[in-house]
Copies of this chain bind each other. A is one copy, B any other.
Amino acid sequence: MIGHQFMGKVHSHAYRDLPFYFDPPAVPVQQAISGRNEAAVREAAEQFGWDSVETDWRRLVERDDIDLIDIVTPNHTHADMAIAAAEAGKHVISEKPLAVTAAQAKRMKDAVEENNVVHMVSHNYRYAPAVQYAAQLIREGRLGRIYHIRAQYLQDFIMDPAFPLVWRLKKEYTGSGALGDIGAHIIDLARFLVGEFHSVSGMLQTFIPERPLEDGSGTGEVTVDDAAGFLARFNNGAMGVFEATRFAAGSRNKNQFEINGEKGSIRWDLENMNNLEVYFEDDEPGMQGFRMIHCTEAEHPYMQAYWPAGHIIGYEHTFIHQMAELINGIHENKSPHANFNDGFENQVVLEAVQESAASGSWMTTEQIKAGL
A340 interface hit (Cβ, 8 Å): no
User: Contacts A249-B281, A262-B249; is A307 near B207 (CB within 8 Å)?
Assistant: no
A139 interface hit (Cβ, 8 Å): no
| Cross-interface CB contact of A13 among B20, B288, B362, cutoff 8 Å | B20
The listed residue with most B CB atoms (<10 A of its CB), out of A48, A227, A252, A317, is A252
A205 interface hit (Cβ, 8 Å): yes
A233 to B204, CA, bound (A): 10
Indicate with 1 or 0, residue by residue over A267-305, a CB within 8 angstroms of chain B CB atoms.
000111111001111010111111111101101100000
User: Contacts A20-B16, A249-B260; is A157 near B307 (CB within 8 Å)?
Assistant: no
A265 interface hit (Cβ, 8 Å): yes
Q: Which residues of the other chain, B, contact A17 by a CB distance below 8 angstroms?
A: 13, 17
A279 to B250, CA, bound (A): 6
The listed residue with most B CB atoms (<10 A of its CB), out of A17, A233, A253, is A253
| Cross-interface CB contact of A360 among B251, B294, B313, B361, cutoff 8 Å | B361
What is the count of identical protomers in the complex? 4
- Nearest CB in chain B: distance from A226 CB, A: 8
A315 interface hit (Cβ, 8 Å): yes
- Nearest CB in chain B: distance from A140 CB, A: 11
Q: Which residues of the other chain, B, contact A360 by a CB distance below 8 angstroms?
A: 201, 361-362
Indicate with 1 or 0, residue by residue over A237-267, a CB within 8 angstroms of chain B CB atoms.
1011111010111111110001011111100
A10 interface hit (Cβ, 8 Å): yes
A152 interface hit (Cβ, 8 Å): yes
Q: Which residues of the other chain, B, contact A173 by a CB distance below 8 angstroms?
A: none
Q: How many residues on the A side are at the interface (Cβ–Cβ under 8 A)?
A: 92
User: Contacts A16-B20, A308-B253; is A291 near B297 (CB within 8 Å)?
Assistant: no
| Cross-interface CB contact of A312 among B147, B157, B315, cutoff 8 Å | B315
Are B231 and A310 in contact (CB-based, < 8 A)? Answer: no
Are A288 and B286 in contact (CB-based, < 8 A)? Answer: no
Are B48 and A20 in contact (CB-based, < 8 A)? Answer: yes
Are B293 and A292 in contact (CB-based, < 8 A)? Answer: no
A311 to B157, CA, bound (A): 13
Are B296 and A291 in contact (CB-based, < 8 A)? Answer: no
Q: Which residues of the other chain, B, contact A279 by a CB distance below 8 angstroms?
A: 249-250
Smallest CB gap from A239: residue in B: B205
A249 to B306, CA, bound (A): 22
A369 interface hit (Cβ, 8 Å): no
A155 interface hit (Cβ, 8 Å): yes
Q: Which residues of the other chain, B, contact A49 by a CB distance below 8 angstroms?
A: 20
User: Contacts A155-B310, A315-B312; is A291 near B288 (CB within 8 Å)?
Assistant: yes
A362 to B359, CA, bound (A): 9
A236 to B240, CA, bound (A): 26
Are A310 and B249 in contact (CB-based, < 8 A)? Answer: no
User: Contacts A239-B203, A299-B286; is A245 near B293 (CB within 8 Å)?
Assistant: no
Are B6 and A308 in contact (CB-based, < 8 A)? Answer: yes
Indicate with 1 or 0, residue by residue over A100-112, a CB within 8 angstroms of chain B CB atoms.
0000000000000
Are B308 and A311 in contact (CB-based, < 8 A)? Answer: no
Are B291 and A264 in contact (CB-based, < 8 A)? Answer: no
- Nearest CB in chain B: distance from A40 CB, A: 16
A171 interface hit (Cβ, 8 Å): no
Question: Given A13-B20, A205-B239, A245-B260, list of 6 further CB < 8 A pairs?
Answer: A13-B17, A250-B281, A253-B310, A272-B274, A292-B292, A307-B315
Q: Which 8 pairs of residues, A with B, have the shortest CB-CB distance?
A: A253-B310, A252-B310, A286-B299, A250-B279, A314-B314, A289-B291, A289-B293, A311-B315
